[in-house]
Each structure stands twice: as C-alpha cells, then as structure tokens.
Structure 1
Amino acid sequence: MSLETLSTISPTTNSAVITRQALPPQEIERLPAIGQEAFASYRKSHPTLGSRQEVVAKALDLLSRRKDVLAKELTEQMGRPIAYTGIEIDTTVKRGQYLNRIAGEVLSEDVPGDPEKGFRRFIRREPVGVVLIIFAWNYPYLILINSLLPALLAGNTVILKPSPQTPTIVEHMSEIFTEAGLPKNVLQYFHCGSPSHVELIVRSPQINHICFTGSVAGGLAVQKAAADRIVNVGLELGGKDPAYVRPDVEPHWAASEIIDGAIFNSGQSCCAIERVYVHNDIYEPFINACKATLSKYKVGDPMDKSTQIGPVISTRAKETIRSQIDEALKAGAKDETPPNSSFENLPQQGNFIKPTLLTHVNHSMSIMQDETFGPVIPIMSVPSDTAAVKYMNDSQFGLTASIWTKDVGVGEELAGKVEAGTVFVNRSDFPSPDLAWTGWKDSGKGVTLSRFGFEQFVKLKSFHLKDYPGR
C-alpha cells in the first residue's frame, strides 16, 4: 500500500514547502497500546512530580534556545510575520514555566478540614492514562503547551496529532523532550490527513482522554466519534468575539487596541475581536480613529521584519473572508478602509487580503454572526449599554468579550452580564495563564490554563482509612 503524502502549502506563495508521510491506519491503531505500555513504565521511572518537573524545566530551556529556528519555520509554514513568531516561543516558555511551577500545589492531595480521631481521609489525584491531543496551526506551540505540560506533569503519556499545516512542531517537541530525559514512547506523534484515520484512534478504548483544538465542525466530529464509550473530550473551538466601546473612552487609544485585537495574526485567532459595537455618541470619532490606525499598518512578505500583517492560511480561507465582506457590502455595509499603499499593492502570490474596515453593518449579516478568521473589523453603532450587551450575547459563540471604558466598575458590571468564558475590560486577545481558559456555548467545553487546566488530566481517588481496633 502506498503511503499518503501530506503537503504543507505556504500561504505566502501557495507552493509546497514541506511534505510528510501519513502514518498508515494499522500503525495509528497501534499507538494507544504503545502509550499504555509507556504509561506503566513512566509511573515507575518518574514516580514523583519533582522528577517530572525536572524534565519539563529542561525541555522548556531547550525550547527557548531553539527560538530562532522554530520562529522561522512558523513563518514559512503558517505565514505569521517573522517579527512576531519568536514571541510565540517566548510566551510558550513563560506559560510552561508557570504551569510547571504551580503543579506541586495543584496535584497535591486534598485533606478535608474536619479530621476525626482514628480516621484519615484524603483525595488523591491519579493520572488518567493515555491522552490524545489534536491541535491547530494558528498558535501551535501555545495551544499544545496548554495541554501537553499538565498531561505529562500529572503522569500521563501523550499522543500528538498536529495540523498538516504545521507538521514540524511535534517533531521538535518530541526531540526536545527526549533530550530533556522523557522516557521512550511517553510522547508519541503521528501525521495524518484523513478524518477517518483520526477517528480510528479516537475510538480506541486505550485512549483515556481527548483534547481537541480547532473548528466547531471538527470538534463535533471528534465528540461524535468518541460518543460510543465513556471518555472525556475537551474541546477548544471557535469564536465570534465582541467588543463594546462606551462613550467615555479616548477614541484613538481604543481604536489602536481594538484594531490590534482584531487583525493581529491576520485575524486568525479564536479570541480575535470579530465584531465591534460602538456607542452612538462616539461612533464617528471612533471610526475616524480606526482609519488613522489602519492607515499605518503594513501588509506584505512575512519574512520582512517590518511587515505587520501576512497572508491568511489558504486560498479557501481567503475566499470565505471575501465572501463575507461582499455579502455585507451588498446588504448595505460600507467599506471605509483608509488609503494604504501596502493594502493597494498586495503581493501577487499567496493568500494576501487587505485588513478591511466595515461600517453600517447590521446584526443579520454573516460578518456579525459567523466566524471570519480573517483581518476584518465590522463596526455597528448601538444606543446604549443595554443594547450592546444584548447584541454581544446574540451569538452561538462565547469564548471572550471585551468592554472598553474609563469606568472600570461599570465595565466589570457589564462584563458580568456577557455570556463568555473570559471577559476583559480595556484589554483583549490575551489568554492569561493563571485564569481558566474555557468556551461557553459552541466555543467549547472543558478548561485549559490555571489550576483548573490540570483537572481534565487526573481522576480523583478518595481514601478513607480507619485505625485497627485496639491499637
């Protein structure tokens, strides 16, 4: 049987930059059993959390040392400008160090606060077994570290399935952790392009937990494949994250922050700002400030250190974004993108699209309802705080949301009414490692980051010990 060849297509040139051989189905089916064998040996070779923390610390140090090489690969494979890809590696290391640091407290035994003479009761956290992590291309190191480190620190073994768009991430991480002292087969990976082949491993009874980061459709497919057995599935899915600008803010400050939150990484973030509601009283000044901000951005070759916005990931993504924009314009929206030479002279090759400022949108438009995953800023005028919150909640998604105001107390009050897993006041697009990262509605289920991000990788075991009579 010939092996399937997976090609990574550069979003900058639309030509293949790397190829990998997909693992045959029969080999994919063997991975969980290998993982179970490694799980038994891992518990013996690294029985203490301290020994596992030592491996993680060494791995993070090695990851940091390879930043320049890894950053260049990210730019080549997914198109984010080289000025920013190294920051992902730095942030990954810092996030990993935080998770490693809190593991001792988080994974320790819980002892009830009402001891009784002659009895000892406590709750121990045990590893679940073999963890399957399927993760996306847009922030691959950050997404991966959220699940990989808690899983390993808790004592589990892990199987990784990367996006074909960024296939080398798993190869680097495997090499790094091996060099750091992780035993053989504790961390495995496979390349695969066929959903039916991924389904084989999802259905395996030797997989004890599944983490998926990607589209809603992909998450539903994984959940469906796992539905005929008892296994936990954590889903980090899409977003249509709203921002509300109150009339008390300084327009240029709010515009610069919101534009950055909307179009950084070409808008390809699950927590990017994808719809903006602006109070009537500040609407025109805010639009003018957005124009002034956008006019200074540079779209271009992502290998150029002065480039701020690179291509979107694929021709299909480019067409989807353009379709949403065209639909909105036909329905009455206005394209108020300012003059900008880099927007008007996009590279001829690749999937480049100009950051687009849309005004006069309404809430029935696809651009305000469906995930865009591109550099588009649709702005809608609203008459009040109450109306803004109503529109913010009128969505199938609930990942993050932001309120922009001088009055932080009012901002907090409004944020409390918004249906989202993370709410910001005067900030956006920032998964803080000490806060729970979780989606509401169709944005997912389960938690990563913070102390709560470890819970999916352990099962609780209660001990109730009574002294022997007569002792």
Structure 2
Amino acid sequence: MTAMHAVDVHSPRDAELVGWLPTATEDEVAAALATARSAAATWAAVSAADRGAAVRAGAEALRARASDLATVVETETGRPFASAREAVLAGAATLARYAELGPVHRGRPPLGTDFTVPCPRGVVVALTPWNDPVAVACRLLGAALVTGNVVVHKPSERCPHTGLLLATVLAPCFPAGVLQTLVGDGDVGGALVRADVDVVAHVGSTATGRAIARVSSAKLLLENGGNDPLLVDDDVDPSWAASQAALGAFTNAGQLCTSVERIYLHKSIAAPFLEALCQRAREWNTDPQPLVDVRHRSFVHAQVADAAAAGAHALTGGEIPSGRGAYYPATVLANCMPAMRIMCEQTLGPVAPVQLMSSFDEGLAEACSGERGPAATVLTSSMQHAQQAWRALPVSTVKINAVFGGAGGSDLLDEMTTTKVVHLGLPNGS
C-alpha cells in the first residue's frame, strides 16, 4: 500500500459504472489512526449518559436519512429499495438499543471490599461487509462508541458510497476523531489490522478472518462464516416449512449472514416439501434480485455446478441467465450429500440445497457438523426435539420455527470493554 488507487463500483443490475472513489493512502491511514488515538482518552472520559445521548442522536439522524441510504445501498448492491430501507431502519433501531444499554452497562456489585467496572478498550477498527452494510455497521459502531471507544471504520469496497454516506450521517453526532471512515480494499484493511490498535472487529468471510488473526495483535471480534443449517422435522406441515425455507434461502438473494445455506429434511415429507419449495422458488424468480456483482455470481454458480457434477439435481434454477447484470435464479438442489461444497461451505446466494435424513437425530448431527455459521433454524412440533437442538447446535443464535429472529444484547458491550477490579481498603491508622 504505497500509492493511492481507485475503487470502482458497477451496478449489479446492468453493469454500468456507479462511480469510483480513491482509496486511502498509507499516510491517510496513519493519520486516521493517530487522530483516533488522540481522541480516545477524551471520549472515554465522557459520561456514559452523554455517550448514550450521542448514539441516540445517531439513531435519529439515520432514521431521517433512511431513504437516502437505501437508494445508495440499492445502487451499489442491488438490494431492492424497500428491503434496503428496512435494513437501514434496523440499523437505527440497533443504535437506539445500544443508546439505552450503554449507560446501564455496569460492573459487578461489590463483593466484600472489591467491585468491578467496565472500561473502554481504546481504538477499534471495524471492517464491515457489503451484504447488510448499514445494519451490521451500526451494531459494531454502536457497541464500540457507547462504551467509550473510538472507531476507524472501513466499509466493504463493494459499497464504499454507502459507507461514506453513513459516516456523513453519524460522525457529526460525535466529537471530532471519535468516528472516522476510510475507503479502501484489502490493502487498506490490511494496514489497519496490522496497526497498533486495541480491537479489530470484522464481519465477513472465514478466509479473511483467518488472515486477520495471523497478523493482528489486537483483541479480535471475528464473525465469520455463515453456513447456517435448517433442520426440518417430520411432524411439521411441509408447505409451511417450504415457505420458511424459501424465506431463509432467497431473501436478499440469499446474501445475508443468517441466510439458510443448507437444509436437512426428514425423508418422510420430502416429496410435498420439495414440490412446495420449487413453487416458492419460481415465485421468487418472477421478480429477481441481482447478486452483488458478476464475480460473486460466478462463485455461487461454481458451487451449484460442483454439486451437480457430484450427483445433485437442480429441480429449478441452477443456470446463469442471459442478459446484463449479476442475476441468478432461486435454485433448489435435491440429492445433496455431506461432502459437496454446497453443504460444507457458505454460498451466500439464492440456493436451497437439500439433504434427506432418516431421523431427527441424524439431521441434528449433520447440522452440528461442518463450517459453523452464526445461526441455525429448527422447524419442529416436538418440544423435546427443540430442546435437544438448541442445546446441541454450536451457534450463537438458534431459531425455533422461524428462520429470522433473535437480537443481540449486552454481549457485544462486554467484548468492547475490559474489566477493572477495584479493591477498597482503609488507610493506615483508620
């Protein structure tokens, strides 16, 4: 990273140039980090109530500009305006929630003459993804800022205009230097994570997360992977279960961290489930949404083609359409097997690969295996199976009978702080 170059963004709908932005230079990265370090002590000394008020102001500012941000998200990533606006408002709600949680995030009560208090870690580097660029960023930024940290934020190079507009909206709510945003690709991200910072928070691919872990000496908050399973029991209505599967696999063209990536289906309801799922896929394909770019579409299709070569059967979809843009149809794959890449790796596309199971226990074992994602879903009428599943699944969020749901609370506030133990003693002679 020795010279400035540009990040180009092309429309995923028609491949036309949306715009380009210069990436941060090495000197600009160094200057941003120095500014952050200078601002850290002052911001940490601000009262928790005032920090919460600043984050609350950010939430209000974001709500006021929700339509503007949704337009840019749609332009850069292809996410439909209504869905993009809903995601922006979800980001604002996250900020508002942290504005309430932050001031009451306290240490443990006194134990004898000792008590503990949370303290900000310092300078946080936040690296956020393109698939939900505002909501994910608000979660990391809100938790870091309300606990007294300062942040240098690098949004994905696939949506830099979105990241800059978010900065325009939020940064004025805080003192100078507390929240900074840099445009850049992997070179800029690499320079940030190798720097002398206190926290690196990254949401994105497992490969990038592992690369960060190799070079950074900071506290790491890595949310990587996303090979989220859906387990369908034999005692649920197959049409309803197929609707849930379609919602989880095809929403935002399957480009969510918590999208359904692999389906384990009890074979006793396979025929009606697959028939209904194919119908839902055809309905989604009447109003298609593009993937973020043709490079990502090539990756998604390679996963599908690999599965087909290994014996999977595309019941619907599975082919790259003609015409411009990065479109890919909602696809249902039957006859999937555990060793297929489509079952082992995150696809992040509108693909529903289905593997048949002979029993709930067999499906649960498969859902617990392989690359772990942040969430899992279980569709069942059995309370016993539900209890068994949420205890066994090695994920941070387990959803029972709903593919979307579950919100984080104070856990990220804990990660953004250190714990200071205070011991109270009496002076000599007292």
* 1:258 Cα deviation after fit: 1.0
Residue matched to 2:176: 184
Residue matched to 2:214: 224
* 1:61 Cα deviation after fit: 0.7
SS in 2 for 1:462: strand
* 1:148 Cα deviation after fit: 0.6
SS in 1 for 2:424: strand
Correspondence 1:42 to 2:43: yes
TM-score normalised to structure 1 length: 0.87
Aligned match for 2:383, one of 391, 400, 408: 408
Correspondence 1:259 to 2:259: no
CA root-mean-square deviation: 2.0
Correspondence 1:463 to 2:428: no
- CA-to-aligned-CA distance 1:392-413 (integer Å, 9 cap, x gap): 1220224221111122342222
Percent identity over the alignment?
25
Residue matched to 2:372: 397
2:190 corresponds to which letter in structure 1?
E
Residue matched to 1:446: none
Residue matched to 2:303: 324
Q: Distance in 1 between matches of 2:247 and 2:262?
A: 13
Correspondence 1:233 to 2:220: yes
Residues 194-233 of structure 1 aligned to structure 2 (within 5 Å): 195-205=186-196, 207-226=197-216, 229=217, 231-233=218-220
SS in 1 for 2:131: coil
Correspondence 1:109 to 2:107: yes
Deviates more, 1:252-261 or 1:398-407: 398-407
Q: Distance in 2 between matches of 1:240 and 1:262?
A: 11
Q: After the TM superposition, which segments of 4 or more aligned residues of structure 1 sit over 6 Å from their partners?
A: none
In the alignment, is the contact (CA less than 8 A) between 1:132 and 1:211 conserved in 2? yes
- CA-to-aligned-CA distance 1:9-49 (integer Å, 9 cap, x gap): 221122220211111112212222111111123245xx211
SS in 2 for 1:463: strand
**Which consecutive unaligned segments of at least 5 residues does structure 2 have?**
none
Distance 1:261 1:220, change over 3 A: same
- CA-to-aligned-CA distance 1:297-344 (integer Å, 9 cap, x gap): 245xxxxxxx4x411112222112222222222222222118xxxx99
2:184 corresponds to which letter in structure 1?
C
Correspondence 1:153 to 2:146: yes
* 1:378 Cα deviation after fit: 1.0
Aligned match for 2:237, one of 242, 250, 269: 250
Residue matched to 2:159: 166
**Which consecutive unaligned segments of at least 5 residues does structure 1 have?**
300-306, 434-448
Q: Distance in 1 between matches of 2:395 and 2:319?
A: 36
Correspondence 1:121 to 2:114: yes
* 1:170 Cα deviation after fit: 3.1
SS in 1 for 2:272: helix
In the alignment, is the contact (CA less than 8 A) between 1:402 and 1:415 conserved in 2? no
Q: Distance in 1 between matches of 2:38 and 2:320?
A: 56
Q: Distance in 1 between matches of 2:107 and 2:387?
A: 35
Correspondence 1:281 to 2:268: yes
